[in-house]
Amino acid sequence: MNITNQLTQLHNSGKPYIIYKSNKGFNLYTDFSKKIILNNKNIYSFLNKKKKIKKSKNTDLFIGFFGYELLNNLIGIKIPKQKNINLPKGIFYKPEIKISLPNNLNYRDDNCAKKKNNFKININKKSYSKIFDKFKKKIKSGETYQIKICTKYKTISKINPLDFFCRLSKTNLAPEAFMIKDKNYSIISCSPENLVTKKGSLITTKPIAGTVKKNKNMNKIKALNYFKKNIKETKEHNMIVDMERNDLSRICKVGTVKLSKAKVVEEYKDLFHYVSLIKGKLKKNTKNIDVIKAMMPGGSVIGCPKINTLNLLNNQEKENRNIYTGSFGYIKFNGDMRFNIIIRSILNFKNISEISVASGVVVDSNVQHEFNENYIKAKALIDLFK
């Protein structure tokens, strides 16, 4: 049976499954023997639980997501009462089957319901400007140095997540792309950002800070020159890199945290990103929960300093972020892990699709530019509904 027929058969069976980008293509995980729905209490036992390995298998792992609200609670940040769709705070699955897939996923549902331009934004330009001005004052008073304003695009829709994901992987393939299909929800993501990869005592993070729209006059070399000459983008990137280095330093041996790649450009469907890579070596006896608490939520999608900025954001925002700026990935039974930051994603729950995006505000930011940047980030996902 070829890959397309295999995917179609699995999708039509109604069984939950997960697809996650790998170095050579994608990995598909299914036949879940356990499904753990996380909350503020059981997350500690989940992260501290020692997994027994009799004979090592490539399915010796839990794969799933931590939601934004759960990660805040884990580091002692309280979230005021907000509008809540009652999506679980986090879900992890124990797969019994893993299948390697190629980059070229050929599946198409021509009967899939798609609606164009039905998205409504939760913060219009006027409201965004008020929040922007408020946060500018916070920056000038020293309460934060950079902060990300989240906006949501929503539409009522029934979608075929596999159809969406396969088309997205063709037009906007990203190194941290993933999809989850379960009975009552689905997530489709073209996340570009790796938050943590841990192999033994070695750990890396890849902060992204800096975005410019693609057009016929903007190539990779010109994008790099733009970022280097743009004071605002450079400030934003430097602050996030410093914060991620600081986060790593809390769990790494002294002197091991180093910038491996500094300020390179990565290309995506509608934009270019400014990216760095940081490496470190973990202290002895560092536990999984120590890594999660140090690194999550990812600073590049929050702002800095992290704790102050999280409090400012949570007191401003009226709706739960749900999956947005949480983390998806896996924890192997041997302790190795890989997690992204959940951005550039569609959450479909109760037949409502939501796309959350955010842009960074620093002292010399322009409100029109930041508002437009949010739409640029959402566009590749909104285009799937055409």
pLDDT tens profile 352-361: 999 999 987 8
The SS3 of residue 205 is: strand
Does the pLDDT of residue 1 top 80, yes or no?
no
**Residue found under tokens 């009462």:** 81
User: What pLDDT score was predicted for residue 209?
Assistant: 82
Tell me which of 3.40.50.11890, 1.20.120.1760, 3.60.120.10, 3.40.50.300 is the CATH number of domain 3-385: 3.60.120.10
Does the pLDDT of residue 180 top 90, yes or no?
yes
Q: For residue 19, which amino acid is it? A: I
DSSP 258-275: EEEEEEEEEE-SSEEEEE
User: What pLDDT score was predicted for residue 310?
Assistant: 95
Cα–Cα distance measured from residue 131 to residue 121, given in angstroms and rounded to the nearest whole number? 15
More confident residue, 377 or 19: 19
More confident residue, 172 or 255: 255
Q: How confident is the model at residue 172 (pLDDT cuts 50, 70, 90)?
A: confident
Does the pLDDT of residue 185 top 70, yes or no?
yes
Q: How confident is the model at residue 113 (pLDDT cuts 50, 70, 90)?
A: low
**For residue 158, how many C-alpha atoms fall within 13 Å in the half-sphere facing its CB?**
6
Cα–Cα distance measured from residue 331 to residue 74, given in angstroms and rounded to the nearest whole number? 17
Mean pLDDT of the chain: 91
**Range list of β-strands (E), the chain:** 17-21, 26-38, 61-66, 90-101, 120-121, 146-156, 178-181, 185-189, 194-199, 202-205, 208-213, 258-267, 271-281, 303-304, 327-332, 337-340, 345-349, 352-361
Point out the least confidently predicted range of 43-47, 306-310, 377-381: 377-381
**pLDDT tens-digit readout, 308-317:** 999 999 999 9
Does the pLDDT of residue 116 top 60, yes or no?
no
User: What pLDDT score was predicted for residue 117?
Assistant: 57
